[in-house]
Chain A
Amino acid sequence: MHIADGVVAVPVIATTSAIAVAGLGLGLRSIDDTRVPQVAVLSATFFVASLVHINLGPSSVHLILNGLIGVLLGWAAFPAMFVGLLLQSVLFGFGGITVLGLNLFNIAVPAVICGVAAREVIATSRPAVAAAVGGVAGAAAIAMTAMCVAIALALSGQEFLPAAEIVVLAHMPVMAIEGLITAAAVVLIKRVRPDMFPSRRTVAPL
């Protein structure tokens, strides 16, 4: 899911990086000092999740957990993932420095969309419904990220359909697994710490 240096055209990198920087700014503003530990731990989780491989079929894919992080952090997913991506590229060689903004866009934008869409429902509904919504958010975030990758490649001269087919098909198992993880995490957190899902009715929106 991490696009490597030198694959994508410069205008695509510039546009997505600009949006990623805007998202970073919004994300940083949404973190008050009481949320820093939560963002830190989720950033570390994102950082190591990419090392969990799912070997099914010919290609090798890994967890991303962007749906879960989006549901828990909202806009703060941007800074959490930025730090994770930066360290992944420096320490592991995933992606690259010049495509950091592009990869952040591809992974964090779906996270925030799914998170913002799902949070209110998760916060206000019964555990079963919340789990289902969380699961859908977890799977949908992966699907959207796969589509973003395919579109970025298509805009850089690769044919869209083969790229989309490869990326989306390869991530089917990831979608299933992350849907389950996100659903399980939502149920657990709702029971243990319901205030981690701030409803607009109880807490001011971000």
Chain B
Amino acid sequence: MRAPLSLAVRSVVPLLAAVLVVLASQGAHAHRLNLFAFVDGQSIQGSAYYSGGGAPGGAEIVAYGPDGAEIGHATTDADGNFSFTPTQPVDHRITIATADGHAAEFVVTAAELPAPLAAPAAEPQAPVAADEAEAGEAPPAAESEAVADRPTDVPAVAAAPAIDPAELESLIGRTVQRQIQPLRQQLFAYEGAIHMHDVLGGIGYILGLFGIAAYLMSLRRRKVAG
């Protein structure tokens, strides 16, 4: 048992060590195809890239609806970027497949789509607005009394309806989405990256697994010998 162990240690461990040194020096990279997309104005924009650097140019991007029908189509440029205009107010499952067997997908939900398309997704908001209107029905009487008491407030009350609540909501929605976009992208990149604890954990799994195998084999041999 001793000779083969030293044999492995002396000849292969240096190789493993060299690989780890290279890794540590250049940072760990994955070889996974990542796809990210977001809504910008009226179009869906996105980019595809390999975690280790490089991008699939000229790859075909196809978007599918919930029913599996093709609802969008694009081709990546040399930097892996693409964009297309969504035409249907449904979740877009955006997929990419390169000629060399890599694939990835990303979902842009209906709620993220540009305002005119997102209308059906925004529908649940309508009843809320109606509720507010109903709830508001009682106060107007009281409010009008208050208004009557203080005529100076009238301009303020009159100005309020100038901002349509639905429009305001969509405006806020779009602004918030634009603000959190870089954050989402960063989070996505972090998820796709290879972390050193995964690498070391994997090596630990391998050594542990083969350690168990060696133990079981030694048990069997002892049984045979006994």
Contacts and interface: CB of A to CB of B under 8 A. Distances in A.
Contacts, number: 170
Interface in B126-182: none
B68 interface: no
A88 B205 CA distance: 11
Interface residues of A, number: 61
B30 A92 contact: yes
Nearest to B5: A37
Contacts of A47: 202-203, 206
A91 interface: yes
Interface residues of B, number: 58
Interface in A31-67: 31-45, 47-53, 55, 58-63
Contacts of A59: 50, 54, 56, 100
B8 A41 contact: yes
B189 interface: no
B99 interface: yes
Interface of B: 1, 3-5, 7-13, 15-16, 19-20, 22-23, 26, 28-33, 50, 52-57, 78, 97-104, 192, 194, 198-199, 201-203, 205-207, 209-211, 213-214, 217-218, 221
Given A48-B16, A51-B194, A36 B210 contact: yes
Would you call the interface of chain A mostly helix, strand, loop, or mixed?
Answer: helix
B199 A48 contact: yes
A167 B78 contact: no
Would you call the interface of chain B mostly helix, strand, loop, or mixed?
Answer: helix
A41 B30 CA distance: 21
A2 B15 contact: no
14 contacts: A4-B102, A5-B103, A36-B214, A40-B210, A44-B16, A50-B31, A53-B31, A58-B78, A59-B54, A60-B53, A61-B31, A63-B19, A193-B7, A196-B7
A61 to B, nearest CB: 8
A177 to B, nearest CB: 11
Contacts of B55: 58
Nearest to B205: A87
Given A33-B217, A42-B12, 8 more contacts: A4-B102, A43-B210, A47-B203, A52-B26, A93-B30, A94-B32, A166-B100, A193-B7
Contact of A52 (B5, B8, B23, B98): B23
Contacts of B217: 32-33, 36
B32 A188 contact: no
A30 B100 CA distance: 33
A110 interface: no
Nearest to A169: B100
B206 A52 contact: no
Contacts of A195: 7
Interface in A69-89: 72, 83-84, 87-88
Nearest to B213: A36
A7 interface: yes
A153 B97 CA distance: 11
Contacts of A93: 30, 32, 192
The 6 closest A-B pairs by CB, nearest first: A40-B210, A60-B54, A33-B217, A3-B101, A53-B52, A4-B103
Contacts of B8: 37-38, 40-41
A74 to B, nearest CB: 15
A186 B136 CA distance: 84
A39 B1 CA distance: 14
A39 B10 contact: no
